[in-house]
């Protein structure tokens, strides 16, 4: 799978409370959640995000609450990929489970600037910064996680009989 988009960049410790504030958690409607995405950190996000855009951030992205509403809001906003130096662990598994593409890559997250055009090839594990004409290698996901991603998320993996009692 390949994606290409313009980068919107944030810093370290972007928590799920700023990704989607709790005052909007009285719904599970994806479009409504997306309409408040990043609101307490960046009020301009919802007006400037375009389908295919990428989010790049620092350490511990998605820390805090387990609310799956956070990756849902980001995905529904049209974000095609989130690159970070590191992800908080619940956000990390939620993204995999719902099929929001994420890549942990400290080099890329450090080097990429707001507004850069970036391409990513998930199978080869390569991120290419078109604007800066640079490439960053990433660690591919472990086989088990790739299978969940290829199935289209955890629910589909369950339906395909991949999650069986031991």
Partner 1 sequence: MTMTQKILAAHAGLKSVEPGQLILARVDMVLGNDITSPVAINEFKKINAGRVFDNKKISLVMDHFVPNKDIKAAEQTKKCRDFAREHNIEHFYDCGRMGVEHALLPENGLVTAGDVVIGADSHTCTYGALGAFSTGVGSTDMACGMATGMAWFKVPSAIKFNLTGKLNKWVSGKDVILHIIGKIGVSGALYKSMEFTGDGVRSLTMSDRLCMANMAIEAGAKNGIFEVDDITLSFLKYAGAKEPVVYKADADAVYEKVYDIDLSEIKPTVAFPHLPENTKTFDEIGDIKIDQVVIGSCTNGRLQDLIEAAEVLKGRKVADGVRAIIIPATQKIYMQAMEMGLIKTFIEAGAAVSTPTCGPCLGGHMGILAKGERAVATTNRNFVGRMGHPESEVYLASPAVAAASAVTGKLSEPKEVVGE
Binding site residues, partner 1, CB under 8 A: 13, 15, 17-18, 21-23, 25-28, 40-41, 59-60, 63-69, 71-72, 86, 88-90, 93-94, 97-98, 142, 144-145, 148, 153-155, 157-159, 163-166
Residues comprising the chain, all counted = 166
What gap in Å lies between CA 97 and CA 115, rounded to an integer? Answer: 28
The minimum distance between CB 2 and partner 1, in angstroms, equals: 25
List, in order, residues 6 or more apart from 145 with CB less than 8 Å away: 96
Is 115 or 152 the residue whose CB approaches partner 1 more closely? 152
Is 133 or 161 the residue whose CB approaches partner 1 more closely? 161
The minimum distance between CB 157 and partner 1, in angstroms, equals: 8
What gap in Å lies between CA 27 and CA 60, rounded to an integer? Answer: 26
The minimum distance between CB 16 and partner 1, in angstroms, equals: 8
47-80 residues labelled b (16+ CB within 10 A) or e (exposed): eebeeebbbbbbbbbbbbbebbbbbbbbbbbebb
Q: Which among 93, 88, 91 is positioned nearest to 74, based on CA atoms?
A: 91
Is 86 or 129 the residue whose CB approaches partner 1 more closely? 86
Is 4 or 93 the residue whose CB approaches partner 1 more closely? 93
List, in order, residues 6 or more apart from 139 with CB less than 8 Å away: 104, 125
Is 75 or 128 the residue whose CB approaches partner 1 more closely? 75
The minimum distance between CB 158 and partner 1, in angstroms, equals: 5
The minimum distance between CB 164 and partner 1, in angstroms, equals: 7
Q: Which residue has the tokens 């910064």?
A: 129
């Amino acid at each position: 799978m390949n994606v290409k988009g313009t980068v919107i960049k944030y810093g370290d410790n972007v928590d799920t409370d700023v990704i989607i504030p709790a005052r909007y958690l009285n719904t599970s409607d994806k479009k409504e959640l997306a309409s408040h995405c990043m609101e307490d950190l960046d009020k301009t996000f919802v007006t400037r995000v375009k389908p295919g855009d990428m989010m790049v951030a620092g350490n511990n992205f998605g820390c805090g609450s387990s609310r799956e509403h956070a990756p849902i809001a980001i995905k529904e906003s049209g974000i095609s990929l989130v690159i970070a130096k590191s992800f908080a662990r619940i956000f990390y598994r939620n993204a995999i489970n719902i099929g929001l593409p994420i890549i942990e890559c400290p080099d890329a997250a450090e080097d990429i600037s707001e507004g850069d055009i970036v391409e990513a090839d998930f199978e080869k594990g390569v991120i290419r910064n078109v604007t800066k004409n640079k490439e960053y290698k990433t660690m591919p996901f472990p086989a088990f996680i790739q299978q969940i991603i290829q199935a289209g998320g955890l629910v589909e993996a369950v339906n395909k009989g991949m999650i069986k009692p031991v």
